[in-house]
Amino acid sequence: MSAAAALSCSPTGLDDAVVEAAEVVAGHDGAAELMVRLRHGNGASSFVTLDPAAGFDLLRAAGADNLAALAGRPWRQIIRDL
């Protein structure tokens, strides 16, 4: 998924979502992707999978130098800066 696509996917409660964790995973074609687990205000969790370029854009937008630094950050605040 591109950063633009992640931004356009706005399910209900997204404003309350915070990054719970992020990890590099193998995509369906074997290429690395960034999987971000979100915790929503209602307690539900969801996943967003980003291609490498969008993953690096996300890290830059968050001012994070590693994946662990994304945890606890408000999702909407991060993607607003993309």
- At residue 38, does pLDDT exceed 70? yes
For the chain, the straight-line distance linking the first and the last C-alpha, in angstroms and rounded, comes to: 14
Tally of domains in the chain = 1
The token pair that represents 24 in the structure block:
């590099």
Q: Is 48 left (phi over 0), alpha (psi -120 to 50) or beta?
A: beta
Q: pTM value?
A: 0.77
* 37 confidence band (pLDDT: 50, 70, 90): very high
CA distances from 72 to 9, 10, 32 (A): 20, 19, 23
* Residue 34: domain span: 3-80
* 81 confidence band (pLDDT: 50, 70, 90): confident
Are 67 and 23 a contacting pair, CB within 8 Å?
Answer: yes
Average pLDDT, the chain: 85
Determine phi and psi for 5, rounding to 5 degrees: -65, -40
Question: pLDDT digits over 48-66, tens only?
Answer: 999 999 999 999 999 999 9
Are 24 and 34 a contacting pair, CB within 8 Å?
Answer: yes
